[in-house]
Structure 1
């Protein structure tokens, strides 16, 4: 039977001195209703989340995910999450899961119920989908205009482009549009022609011996998996860089990958119909690293 688990959290203030938060957790049946009809996460997508990959019982990069959760909370004017409380919630979910295979733990923090107690928080855990095909055979992508120029985040921080919010309707619409065009996924570009990110992944390109990803401005959500891979590449003596990448350079790259916490490294085989060479050996080495225990 597939692994499924859910836990509601009574959020503690970030300066709560307790060391044991077990009394703030309530286990719930993931197959039954648990949220109020007034919950703003479902009414407005007003909240934030993180998805943590699990490999053979090990949660990958917990601290970077917690740091990004806190960053998103700050951008969205949500109460700062208590890191230790969330660590214990993650550990509780892991204790109920299998020791082998891949899974995903989601951390969700909502603004709560309208005109009521706030915030609402919960953790879910489940078996991950089989991503073998995407990691080995690759994916076809199309470029989609995100509708903002590259200077929009600085002019309009209320767009929350650097936060991982629950408002993913646009991201899912982009993936549906990519599939309507005969592709598997998309890469967002700014209206002035700068590469941004995929709807649920970071973009990494190889030009010769250099590995490049879009610079982590407020226009994108910096990926924890991308940061980890770049740390690994640096340790191997490879040259990595954060740069503003013109969209026209996508098809000039020697290789392209989309990186995310659960799918990991998916090589891109075509962009807008233009074929891209897949470096199968390098991709396999990326995924071997990303499937190893990472803190």
Structure 2
């Protein structure tokens, strides 16, 4: 990824009355080395992040992303990110994005080992081209996540509901999916409950209702899924959050993986079982997701 813009943030803000945080930002060369060798984000993946889509200079769903960043910080015992400071950082980064699709990444790390202060930075880069995934669709395979559906409540230290930098397992799952002849994976709990994809939420259409797994702490609550459900309801279509047994995948007549950068990718096969691609509906959903949204 060719980074176009980067800045670091002083994440320790004690004055809640201020409304300008420009003096807490430092613009850095995105191509130059910037992190200490003792940085815990690189040593241990000890940090959190968000990826915000940018369409023609407009950052999408910023409030939802900042709310999830704060949620991840609570789960990981990191300092609470100052919403106003991070929002301004997003605005500054977006102002340096050109026309087209970009991605802004927000990163909050525990910092350098044995130092008390966290580190934080924001980057902007052109987004990958997902046009083919959005139109022709993707094939997925189901993979056992290795935890049962009650794991998050029983073992909160697993951080299953946080968007952490520890993405080695997620990337390994995608590689395994490709070894099996698919494009992506769909995690299933060890007791047979549909969860999420490694980097996306899943939406299933069953008997005319658009269903996504309930955000019980076992999965990330997807910002794009939230936006898609708003659009669906505005069109008078039924939506539902619920526990989805893996057997319901056989009842699905259409399905999508949705995320901030890829947007809506129709699933054309699950475990090599073909699934219809509702081309017209998917095009309308992606047109909405490509429109400016706050």
Does TM, normalized by the shorter one, top 0.5?
yes
- Equivalent positions of 1:19-98 (< 5 A) are 19-98=19-98
Matched, 1:225 2:224: yes
Q: 1:146 is matched with which residue?
A: 145
SS of 1:23's partner is helix
Deviations 1:69-95 (A, max 9, x none): 000000000000001111111111112
Distance 1:207 1:242 in 2: 12
Post-superposition offset of 1:15: 5.1
Post-superposition offset of 1:275: 0.5
Post-superposition offset of 1:262: 0.3
Question: Conserved in 1, the CA contact under 8 Å of 2:3 and 2:123?
Answer: no
- Runs of 4+ off more than 6 Å: none
Deviations 1:116-148 (A, max 9, x none): 142000000000011000000000000000000
Q: 1:208 is matched with which residue?
A: 207
Tell me whether 15-24 or 253-262 shows the greater mean CA deviation: 15-24
Distance 1:15 1:196 in 2: 40
Distance 1:215 1:184 in 2: 24
Distance 2:251 2:6 in 1: 45
SS of 2:52's partner is strand
Distance 1:219 1:173 in 2: 19
Question: Conserved in 1, the CA contact under 8 Å of 2:47 and 2:164?
Answer: yes
Post-superposition offset of 1:12: 2.9
SS of 1:150's partner is coil
SS of 1:197's partner is coil
Post-superposition offset of 1:97: 1.6
RMSD between aligned alpha carbons? 1.0
Distance 2:24 2:246 in 1: 47
Question: Conserved in 2, the CA contact under 8 Å of 1:14 and 1:81?
Answer: no
Question: Conserved in 1, the CA contact under 8 Å of 2:189 and 2:195?
Answer: yes
SS of 1:51's partner is strand
Post-superposition offset of 1:248: 1.7
SS of 1:91's partner is helix
Tell me whether 248-257 or 180-189 shows the greater mean CA deviation: 248-257
Give aligned pairs, total.
Answer: 293
Deviations 1:135-194 (A, max 9, x none): 000000000000000011110011000000000000000000000111000000000000
Distance 2:55 2:97 in 1: 11
Distance 1:250 1:58 in 2: 36
Distance 2:143 2:247 in 1: 13
Post-superposition offset of 1:284: 0.5
Post-superposition offset of 1:4: 1.0
Question: Conserved in 2, the CA contact under 8 Å of 1:251 and 1:276?
Answer: no
SS of 1:286's partner is helix
Deviations 1:6-28 (A, max 9, x none): 10111133653322111111111
Distance 1:214 1:243 in 2: 5
Distance 2:290 2:3 in 1: 19
| Residues 274, 15 of structure 1: alpha-carbon distance in 2 compared, 3 angstrom cutoff | farther
